[in-house]
Amino acid sequence: MGYIEPAPITDKENPFESMMERFNIAAEKLGLDLETYEVLKSPAKQVIVSLPIVMDDGHKKVFEGYRVIHSNTLGPSKGGVRYDMDVNLDEVKALAAWMTWKCAVVDIPYGGAKGGIKCDPANMSKGELERLTRAYTVKMYEIFGPDIDIPAPDMGTGPQEMAWIMDEYSKAQGKTVQAVVTGKPLVLGGSLGRVEATGRGVMVSAMEALRKMKINPNGATAAIQGFGNVGSNAAKLLAQKGLKITAISDHTGAFFNPDGIDLREASEYRATYKTLEGFTGGEKITNEALLELEVDVLVPAAKEDVINIKNADAIKAKLIVEGANGPTGAKADKILHEKGVVVVPDILANAGGVTVSYFEWVQNRLGYKWTRDRVNRRSDRIMKEAFERVFGIAEKHNVSLRIASYMVAITKVADTYKLRGSF
């Protein structure tokens, strides 16, 4: 594939450009032909819309909304909608591609998509957010659909926004269409197990990796950077498997306790005060110091690019399981690999969320609800099978689990594209 000009990379430490760099490496390993390479790296559809909204004070403000469908080769596209001031087309394009690889690596019949609105939800009223969400849905009537493109929550959105999207879309169809979105409230067709699904996938990935590394989880130590939904659930589930969680953190700082953090106490404290600031269950340290603790397992479950060329040499964990999207920069990958640190990458480790979103969609289509036990059992099986596929490719080609994950995903999409032919 030496004649292919790789996608431009302006900043190797940018997490989204890092993703494209890994894509290029995997494509090179696979000997991907030029036509397929161009198809896989290019989004199938890009939509930009203007959203004039009447604010609570009576003035009208225009917001910009996006939806990018990267691929629908494997099935209807799937991906979250984020509300954030930093939302832009390039970011949404990259995240849509990320979803394509994430769905493919766990063998879910979805393509990848992503959406967003450039706004600050923290400074908007519930009424303003509802009007904005409904206006966005109206502009996306021809894009969304249970057989076409299925939104989900992302940064700045949650079950309430998905309920508004479902309701507005259903009005246009003249009937209730639950399957048009996932991540809905339970009463509107949401799935049991969805809230903890991403953290559960992190736990399953960690346990599979520890087994391959012949590390006994009983008494093994773990540090969790980020104590939101993903991090807190991963911590709780890892502790149930015998690991000792010695450090946790949020944006206010980190807390270290060599005897183990009392997770119930930490969860109750955070629920009461909304942050971990002032928590007394451990020594206060920085988030940067948490990343460099001598632990068996490190779970970065907060922001992107926290492990980079500046601190990769100082990482002492034996295993990194990525709960966040893009927590490790591309330049850091090589350093970690040479140090012998095993990294279970984001597109595998945190794919439990989209797996259970798929289950929600299936249940909506069937008009039937599964038990939490059934959801967890099936999700665990999918995550374990995906890990085995990736691990096998990593061993066969002597590459990292990250590159192996991309190779698995690219092969799945490329083979399907070729079999379907030109369309």
Label the pairing between strands 111-118 and 149-153: unpaired
- Report the 10 Å Cβ neighbour count for 77: 30
Question: What CA–CA distance (Å, rounded) separates 298 from 340?
Answer: 14
Q: Is 210 helix (H, G, I), strand (E, B) or coil?
A: helix
Phi, psi of 277 (to 5 degrees): -55, 125
- The gap between the terminal CA atoms of the chain, to the nearest Å, is 24
The strand order across the sheet containing 45-54 reads 45-54, 60-69, 111-118, 77-84, 149-153
**What's 56's DSSP letter?**
T
Q: Which residues contact 209 (CB under 8 A, 6 or more apart)?
A: 319, 321, 342, 344, 387
Question: What CA–CA distance (Å, rounded) separates 300 from 52?
Answer: 38
Question: What CA–CA distance (Å, rounded) separates 29 from 333?
Answer: 17
* Residue of 114, 244, 318, 412 marked active site: 114
199 close to 263: Cβ distance less than 8 angstroms: no
- Residue 102 is among the residues annotated as catalytic for this protein: no
Beta strand segments in 87-238, E: 111-118, 149-153, 221-225
Find the farthest-apart pair of alpha carbons in the chain and give their distance in angstroms, rounded. 63
Label the pairing between strands 221-225 and 253-256: unpaired
H or E stretch covering 360: helix 352-366
Question: What CA–CA distance (Å, rounded) separates 98 from 78?
Answer: 11
H or E stretch covering 417: helix 401-420
Residues designated as active site: 114
